[in-house]
Amino acid sequence: MNTKIKKPELLSPVGDFEKLNAALRYGADAVYLSGEAFGMRSASRNFTVEEIYRAAELLHSRGKKLYITVNVLPHGSEYPALTEFLRAVRGAHPDAFIAADLGVIALLKKEIPEAHIHISTQTSITSPAAALAYAAMGASRLVLARELRLDEIAEIRAALPDEVELECFVHGSMCVSYSGRCLLSNAMTGRDANHGRCAQPCRWNYTLMEEKRPDERYPIEENDAGTFIMSSRDICMIEHIPELINAGIASFKLEGRVKSAYYAAVVTNAYRMAIDAYAADPEGYRTDPRWLAELCSVSHREYDTGFYFDKPMSDPKLCSEKGYIREKAYLALALETGELPAGLERENENGSLFRFNQRNKLTVGETAELLTPGKPGEPFTAAEMYGEDGTPINAAPHPSMIYYLRVPVKVTPGDILRAGN
């Protein structure tokens, strides 16, 4: 018997319109974005007020949702500008605001009383008691702390009214520490910082040593931008979709507002395929290894299941590898093909000619992959290329150049061409 389940929302990060379009095309149910201030990703280009209105119109026309992040912890001097921003975006009718600070929550209720409020992960909700407290404030959704196990999430779900939803990060970067929730004390001394036993290792003196030069040590000093010496593994829960759903998570949140449009497309597409496959046949569901292969094609650190199965004190989730595992090159974006230049044959036994906008160099004879919504990448050999004027070419080396490529599979505008293995 085929048991029908309620699909969780797939929530994608967008830092600009290119990423917004990629997330929409590849299956996001909702997106979260920030204005030019008051969000937790200042490195992203983010959206002007005018762009927020355009984004809201686009999303709502397609039945998708828009959440605006205002989850910073503002100082008193920032409240006039924040008030002005909230008043400015009210008319865009965002589906919710993501907030962490109690003052911001109160301001939202005052300025936009009809607003749905989602409580940010920055508040570190780790218990039913905390969850119930925020629900009592009128929150419609809680973005839970990343340190929770699945059984703890299920416990929180059971304690809440049905109308209060749970949202959790299922993919992307994971902090080593934030605010007062440091994991270093647990990892280095076994003393739990979150229960008043912090050994304060952040205040110890450190030096860096490169393994091939043990006699050379470099002091670690902090500047105005902070200190960046440690990184954790990335969360990847693509192989655990049923467990996430069974724990009562209503929204699967993807991290990555400062990542590329290619990243937004690939990660959204992989989780869309997994969610849809489970919803179609829960009993017969199996993880497709191609979904994980897709996620390995984007820039990432080592993948891990975060703390969904382990507590922070048992495994601090630090990377054993250095740096990022780099993504496959994003080669081109498919455009409307329209009329072909004179002399070109649209179709032959090797496929059809399609028009592309270059992102990175492609050469005849190289393996490329076409990424289209709802499918893993399809590899083929680039065998026939033409310039915008119809002249045969051996490569597409120039940024943003327009060219024609014969592809043996169907291509639709917005599809992504990337490097093969």
Taking only the tens place, the pLDDT of each residue in 121-165 is 989 999 999 999 999 999 999 999 988 999 999 999 999 999 999
SS3 call for 68: strand
- Note whether 106 and 70 are same-domain residues: yes
Structure tokens at 418: 């990337």
Question: Which residue, among 321, 271, 318, has the nearest Cα to 292 in the 3D structure?
Answer: 271
The domain spanning residue 393 has which CATH number? 2.40.30.10
Q: How many structural domains are present in the chain?
A: 3
- Answer whether residue 324 is part of any domain: no
Instruction: Decide if pLDDT at 391 tops 80.
Output: yes
- Note whether 67 and 140 are same-domain residues: yes
The predicted pLDDT at position 224 comes to 46
Q: What is the mean predicted confidence (pLDDT) over 228-238?
A: 74
The predicted pLDDT at position 125 comes to 94
Q: Which residue has the tokens 């076994």?
A: 190
- Note whether 172 and 185 are same-domain residues: no
The predicted pLDDT at position 272 comes to 98
Q: How far, in Å, CA of 170 to CA of 252, rounded?
A: 6
Tell me the average pLDDT of the chain: 88
- Answer whether residue 289 is part of any domain: yes
Structure tokens at 220: 């670690």
Positive or negative, the CA dihedral 310, 315, 316, 320 is: negative
- Note whether 256 and 387 are same-domain residues: no
Residues 6+ apart with CB under 8 A from 244: 8, 150, 168, 170, 237, 252, 308
pLDDT tier at 44, thresholds 50, 70, 90 = low
- Note whether 169 and 188 are same-domain residues: no
For the full predicted model, state whether its pTM sits above 0.95: no
- Answer whether residue 168 is part of any domain: yes
- Note whether 172 and 189 are same-domain residues: no
Full residue range of the structural domain in which residue 265 is found: 9-176+231-304
- Note whether 260 and 392 are same-domain residues: no
Tell me, rounded to whole angstroms, the distance of Cα 119 from its chain centroid: 18
Instruction: Decide if pLDDT at 407 tops 60.
Output: yes
The predicted pLDDT at position 256 comes to 87
- 306 vs 385, residue with greater confidence: 385
Q: What is the mean predicted confidence (pLDDT) over 238-251?
A: 97
- Note whether 265 and 340 are same-domain residues: no
Q: What is the mean predicted confidence (pLDDT) over 78-105?
A: 96
The domain spanning residue 86 has which CATH number? 3.20.20.60
The predicted pLDDT at position 159 comes to 98
CB 388, CB 234: distance < 8 Å: no
- Note whether 379 and 249 are same-domain residues: no
What is the C-alpha end-to-end distance of the chain, expressed in Å?
A: 40
Phi, psi for 151 (deg, rounded to 5): -70, -30
pLDDT tier at 184, thresholds 50, 70, 90 = confident
